[in-house]
């Protein structure tokens, strides 16, 4: 999974049957032209495709698209989704997490909480810059911040303590 994030691959699942892995470079090089608010023209191997986004849930990464009149349900799994899963925040079994560690080396851009502060699940805690991306580390559960193990502007190593809960 680390390789997937490091390579910035996007996983695109179509109708639960087809799974594609695309890099940012592959996505950037697509012959895709926006033709309307939610419409696109795509050319691949000399074949023309008319694509329309019928429904989009950006938060969940789910989209219903029409390609030449046929509808498809798609799910896009981004490198950030991969990071969230790797950190263990994606499953409900992590409600008893007592510490948050840096998922990768980076730079602490901002600390959004204070020691003793009560936080709710999904509250933003820390902004970590890594691999030219700003990653917002959120709380996996309700709790009280016991200790902040880093300072703003500090470079951190992978697995370094960021936040400890009471």
Q: What's the pLDDT score for residue 90?
A: 57
Task: Domain ranges for the chain, please list them.
Answer: 2-77, 97-165
Average pLDDT estimate for 150-159: 94
pTM: 0.46
62-105 pLDDT per residue, tens: 888 999 999 988 988 777 777 776 666 655 444 578 899 888 88
110-132 pLDDT per residue, tens: 999 999 999 998 889 999 988 77
- DSSP per residue over the chain, as a string? -HHHHHTTEEEEEETTTEEEEEEHHHHHTS-EEE-SSSEEEEEETTEEEEEEEEEEETTTTEEEEEETTEEEEEEEE-HHHHHHHHHT-SSGGGTT--EEE-SSSEEEEEE---TT-EE-TT-EEEEEEETTEEEEEE-SSSEEEEEE---TT-EE-TT-EEEEE-
Q: What's the pLDDT score for residue 163?
A: 94
Query: Which comes out higher in pLDDT, residue 3 or 7?
Result: 7
Q: What's the pLDDT score for residue 7?
A: 53
* CA angle 83–128–59, rounded 5-degree value: 50
State the greatest distance between any 2 C-alpha atoms of the chain, in Å, as a whole number. Answer: 61
Tell me if the domain spanning 97-165 has CATH number 3.10.310.10.
no
Q: What's the pLDDT score for residue 87?
A: 67
29-57 pLDDT per residue, tens: 889 999 998 999 999 889 999 999 988 87
């Amino acid at each position: 999974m680390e390789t997937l994030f490091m390579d910035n691959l996007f996983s695109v699942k179509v109708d639960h049957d087809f799974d594609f892995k695309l890099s940012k470079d592959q996505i950037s090089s697509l012959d895709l032209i926006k033709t309307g608010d939610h419409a696109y023209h795509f050319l691949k191997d000399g074949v023309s495709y008319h694509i329309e986004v019928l429904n989009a849930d950006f938060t969940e990464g789910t989209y219903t698209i029409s390609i030449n009149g046929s509808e498809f349900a798609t799910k896009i799994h981004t490198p950030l989704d991969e990071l969230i899963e790797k950190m263990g925040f994606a499953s409900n079994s992590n409600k008893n997490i007592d510490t948050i560690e840096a998922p990768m080396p980076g730079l602490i851009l901002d600390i959004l909480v204070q020691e003793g502060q009560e936080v709710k699940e999904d509250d933003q805690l820390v902004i970590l810059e890594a691999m030219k991306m700003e990653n917002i580390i959120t709380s996996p559960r309700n709790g009280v911040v016991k200790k902040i193990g880093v300072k703003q502007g500090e470079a951190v190593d992978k697995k370094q303590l960021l936040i400890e809960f009471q």
